[in-house]
Amino acid sequence: MANAEGEQPLLGRLLDPSPQPNQKQTNKKGRFRRCRSAPSVDVPHPEKIVGGLLPGSQIIFGDLHPSFVQVATLLTIYLGAGTICFFVVRNQIGGGKTNGILDAVYFCVVTMTTVGYGDLVPNSPLTKLLACAFVFSGMALVGLILSKAADYLVEKQEMLLVKSLLRHKGGEREIVKELETNRVKYKFVLILILLLLLIIAGTMFLYWYEKLDLVDAFYCVCSTITTLGYGDKSFSTKMGRVFAVFWILASTICLAQFFLYLAELNTERRQHLLVHWVLNKAMTSTDLEAADLDSDGVVSAPEFIIYKLKEMGKIKQEDIDLLMEEFEDLDIDQSGTLSISDLKLAQSSQRWS
Amino acid sequence: MANAEGEQPLLGRLLDPSPQPNQKQTNKKGRFRRCRSAPSVDVPHPEKIVGGLLPGSQIIFGDLHPSFVQVATLLTIYLGAGTICFFVVRNQIGGGKTNGILDAVYFCVVTMTTVGYGDLVPNSPLTKLLACAFVFSGMALVGLILSKAADYLVEKQEMLLVKSLLRHKGGEREIVKELETNRVKYKFVLILILLLLLIIAGTMFLYWYEKLDLVDAFYCVCSTITTLGYGDKSFSTKMGRVFAVFWILASTICLAQFFLYLAELNTERRQHLLVHWVLNKAMTSTDLEAADLDSDGVVSAPEFIIYKLKEMGKIKQEDIDLLMEEFEDLDIDQSGTLSISDLKLAQSSQRWS
């Protein structure tokens, strides 16, 4: 399945220049008036700038909500087209049938999630090739759901959970701070709870409506959410297939998202270890020399920050080189610093060129 | 499936402090003697430092090769244990049998990759629960293979491809440079070629050995690599199951890796767009003020770099705040810069405390 771990939320966050709620006031010794290099509030919202500069970037840089709508629309189109296709060729699909339209939706969902029970199987070359087309596009769509919509939904619920947990403790500020710090952990716990609920719901449903014994019901649930789908046990009644359409989509996506969060937690843990190591490593004279970008013999605060960020692996030498080039281009008066005079020189040269 | 897009290679790269081959010489106006904040060559290798400081970090921060060995070992253990388990309970598994051991390996692979044809199905409570355990651990293992070993193998082949492509053009340096710039593209092309070869091999095999017609063979291939596995067509001969054990593992992982690279390409494209926009955006006086960390009225090169990196979303305000605090702690003589005297003060205070 396609992966885009936190891709949209990340982009969403990086394009939001509003001061982050858990910014600590770090000028504790009062030597730096403002140590935030964040664009200040009077700068127009980058998203608007991007939208103005790059055509079509509204789609590329769209925030969470529009991409959720986009995914929902695509899913509806996919299921609609799938249902029509498989309903038209329903006589070329063999196996235990219930109701024409219902079986078509059910077959479509079982195919797109790659569960593939085999209780309904295409038995003509046309339907076989149609199934091939639908499984590939279905996989891509599930990947899109995982990268865009699923994370969005979990984040929404997460906000509610943290709000209810911290109701007596603090205001909006504390909630957002708590969320920022332990975001992945909360998401992981939430998805785990959701997954357990879906497993229990599926098992109970199969036990009562499909009349399977408890082990068989649990086995069918596991075989479904993992997309294994041996097919010896599946949903054979009308009611069962109605339930299956929603439950299979939700539970397979939920398990995949669970694994994604697990990987994210692991990555975060490694990153924390690395940051911890970089922060606790003593500076040596060699470090001082290496960090001294302008070779003036001392390391200023921004030089120190760049050096440590590089050690943490957050930035690469290429990024620094690229920006250094850009800086030297902008520094028209060659003073070694950018000032209002450089901006004025740049404007006048633009006017003349 | 678990995702850890480029996790290991990234960690591997960020822990390797050797100057990167495509570092551009940016001191083109000669005003900055050395604009690399990279630790210079006489600094001991961070990996060794990490290894010395954190027990067990060799495993966490191990480079590509050991993690590949680790994954291969885990896969062997998994398949070994799976084969023994399913061989012991072979009488509680129903369906078309060929050879005891072979069927056990085949069932194990079909389960761990979540293909689940259903040509062999567990038919006792014990085997059903065993299959549940094996499918969950199998999914985790496939995730691990995708995050660690698969990318490593593709990277190895990539080096060979680029070498052969650039044989007449340049030396080692050009090859590495070309690789760094278009890494994801080469990987994507390679995995696409590999996937097509696996599809052709699978289709041909099913056509000749399993005597399926061409459409059925292709349909079975698609149904397998997507892990759909309806199970109406599968590997039923001894020879077929020997082939299937290797081919199913390779092709399902290959398709998943293909989707991962597709997502990576997409993320890279977005990142490029954003960097392009940040670099081409004119600096305003508001930007100048926001970038001026130490409020001296001018923006130095490192201040400019930090500001732009933040706009690019590569770093967050939290990172800057954290490091600013660290800097102020280290700046014992409160001069606003770090120098040898700060280091000496730190050493002597350590001695006294």
* Residue B236: strand, helix, or coil: coil
Contacts of B209 (CB under 8 A, 6+ apart): B237, B239, B240, B243
Least confidently predicted of A38-52, A91-105, A303-317, B90-104: A38-52
Give the pLDDT confidence score for residue B169 in this predicted structure. 62
Give the pLDDT confidence score for residue B228 in this predicted structure. 93
Check B304 against A338: CB less than 8 A apart. Answer: yes
Check residues B96 and B175 and name the one with the higher pLDDT.
B96
Establish if A234 touches chain B: CB-CB under 8 angstroms.
no
pLDDT surpassing 60 at residue A149: yes
Cα–Cα distance for residue pair A100/A96, rounded to 1 Å: 11
Establish if A168 touches chain B: CB-CB under 8 angstroms.
no
What are the tens digits of pLDDT across the range A273-306? 888 888 888 888 888 888 888 888 888 888 888 9
Instruction: Collect all residues of chain B within an 8 Å Cβ-Cβ radius of residue A270.
Output: 11, 60-61
Torsion region of B142: left, alpha or beta (phi above 0 gives left; psi -120 to 50 gives alpha): alpha
Among B residues 243-272, those touching chain A with beta carbons less than 8 Å apart: 256, 259-260, 262-263, 266-267, 270
Give the pLDDT confidence score for residue B114 in this predicted structure. 94
List the one residue out of A266, A12, A170 whose CA is nearest residue A162: A170
What are the tens digits of pLDDT across the range B300-330? 888 888 998 888 888 888 888 888 888 888 8
Once rounded to an integer, what is the mean pLDDT over residues B155-168? 74
Q: Is the Cβ–Cβ distance between A121 and A96 less than 8 Å? A: no
Check A314 against B318: CB less than 8 A apart. Answer: no
Shortest distance between the Cα of B291 and any Cα of chain A, in A, equals 5
pLDDT averaged over chain B?
Answer: 79
Question: In the structure, what pLDDT confidence band is assigned to residue A253 with cuts at 50, 70 and 90?
Answer: very high
Question: In the structure, what pLDDT confidence band is assigned to residue B352 with cuts at 50, 70 and 90?
Answer: low
Of A136, A227, A302, the CB nearest to B303: A302
Of B54, B304, B330, the CB nearest to A273: B54
Give ipTM to 2 decimals.
0.77
Cα–Cα distance for residue pair A344/A231, rounded to 1 Å: 73
Residue A93 bridge partners (DSSP): A122
What are the tens digits of pLDDT across the range B203-243? 999 999 999 999 999 999 999 999 999 988 999 999 999 99
What are the tens digits of pLDDT across the range A180-197? 778 888 889 999 999 999
Question: In the structure, what pLDDT confidence band is assigned to residue A33 with cuts at 50, 70 and 90?
Answer: very low
Check A26 against B53: CB less than 8 A apart. Answer: no
Establish if B222 touches chain A: CB-CB under 8 angstroms.
yes
Of B10, B135, B143, the CB nearest to A259: B143
List the one residue out of A246, A202, A245 whose CA is nearest residue A223: A202
Of A1, A35, A320, the CB nearest to B1: A1
Establish if B57 touches chain A: CB-CB under 8 angstroms.
yes
Domains parsed from chain B with CATH numbers:
7-19+38-278 (1.10.287.70), 279-352 (1.10.238)
What DSSP string runs through A112-178? HTT---SSEEE-SHHHHHHHHHHHHHHHHHHHHIIIIIIHHHHHHHHHHHHHHHTTTT--HHHHHHH
Give pairs for B70-79: CB < 8 Å, separation 24+.
B70/B148, B71/B144, B71/B145, B71/B148, B71/B149, B72/B149, B74/B141, B74/B144, B75/B141, B75/B145, B78/B108, B78/B112, B78/B137, B78/B138, B78/B141, B79/B105, B79/B108, B79/B109
* Residue B121: strand, helix, or coil: strand
Establish if B23 touches chain A: CB-CB under 8 angstroms.
yes
